Amino acid sequence: MHAGVNRLDADKLMSKGIRVCNSRGANGIAVAEHAMALLLGSAKRLVLKHEAVQRAEYFPLYEEGTRSEMLHRRTLLVVGLGKIGGAIARFARAFDMRVLGIRRHPERGGEHVDSVHGPEELLELLPQADYVVLATPITRETEHFFGARELAAMKSTAFLLNIARGNLTEEVPLQRALVHGDIAGYAADVWPDYGMVFPETCYFQCPTRTGYHKLPNVLATGDQAANASDVLQRHIDQGIESMLQFMRGESLDWEVDLELGY
């Protein structure tokens, strides 16, 4: 009852003819809402302003690094137009944002986006984006795909958000870009997976070894996007339906392509 399958031994499962279903989409709206919270929290610098009020400190107006950024008529690039990415695009349109999408099969198009592109166009699109959201599954192709080249292609005023998996990004280049102001900020609900270590790092226990989760231009939550009302029941319902479909000999709506990894 989980969307990610990267921890499974896909080769062994395929060799034994074992079919796998996940519960992708069960948490889609909850995660997309959380992504918008991170987007707004970063753009409006809510944590810094909240802390200033708690300390009864003056917060400068209209200055670089303290003023809010706008979503209105800004460009959002969504990398991964699945259930979550598609919902983020729909929500962003309510803010009158220009939305660009990247997906593995751009010919399939996408709702609520101004244009859809293939992964090979990422470096061309990044300089246009004021906000970049990573919403793609983690696979052999996407692990650590967002690194120094991609960060260098972004505007220095742009924000990067990761709502999918921590290992989509390269940690050291990201830490350097944040420290040196190469991008405006980073927001994430997911953090690097350092492998089978204790405590387990796939989710929240050890956010980053380089410590970039503590930087002032980082907004962090720890695997909380799906921690919302109704989500657990959706996971259960989809899991039961998958078992019923299998027993009835029907096609499996949530079957995973183990070759692709999602």
User: Does residue 111 share a domain with residue 7?
Assistant: no
- Provide the pLDDT for residue 6: 82
Alpha-carbon dihedral sign for residues 10, 11, 14, 15 = negative
User: Does residue 144 share a domain with residue 18?
Assistant: no
- CATH assignment at residue 118: 3.40.50.720
- Provide the pLDDT for residue 142: 95
pLDDT higher than 80, residue 196: no
User: Does residue 223 share a domain with residue 97?
Assistant: yes
User: Does residue 13 share a domain with residue 36?
Assistant: no
Q: For the segment 164-185, what is each residue's pLDDT rounded down to a tens digit?
A: 999 999 999 999 999 999 999 9
Q: By the 8 A CB rule, do 164 and 136 touch?
A: yes
pLDDT higher than 80, residue 205: no
User: Does residue 235 share a domain with residue 222?
Assistant: no
The C-alpha torsion from 76 through 81 and 84 to 87, rounded to 10°, is 60
pLDDT higher than 80, residue 197: no
Confidence of residue 7 (pLDDT cuts 50, 70, 90): confident
Confidence of residue 229 (pLDDT cuts 50, 70, 90): very high
**Tokens of residue 98, six digits:** 């220009």
| Predicted model pTM | 0.94
User: Does residue 91 share a domain with residue 213?
Assistant: yes
Tell whether 62 is covered by a domain: no
Confidence of residue 3 (pLDDT cuts 50, 70, 90): confident
Q: What is the mean pLDDT of residues 138-161?
A: 96
Confidence of residue 247 (pLDDT cuts 50, 70, 90): very high
Query: What is the residue whose two structure tokens read 């990247």?
Result: 102
Confidence of residue 207 (pLDDT cuts 50, 70, 90): confident
* d(C-alpha 100, C-alpha 61), whole Å: 31
pLDDT higher than 70, residue 190: yes
Give which of 133, 21, 120, 37 is closest to 76, Cα–Cα: 133
Q: For the segment 216-227, what is each residue's pLDDT rounded down to a tens digit?
A: 999 999 999 999
Q: By percentage, how much of the chain surpasses pLDDT 90?
A: 89
Query: Which residues, 6+ apart, have CB-to-CB distance to 4 below 8 Å?
Result: 22, 137, 138, 165
- Provide the pLDDT for residue 65: 84
User: Does residue 99 share a domain with residue 49?
Assistant: yes
Q: What residue numbers bound the domain in which 92 lies?
A: 32-56+68-227
Confidence of residue 135 (pLDDT cuts 50, 70, 90): very high
User: Does residue 242 share a domain with residue 172?
Assistant: no
- Provide the pLDDT for residue 64: 86
pLDDT higher than 70, residue 215: yes
User: Does residue 218 share a domain with residue 176?
Assistant: yes
pLDDT higher than 80, residue 206: no
User: Does residue 210 share a domain with residue 163?
Assistant: yes
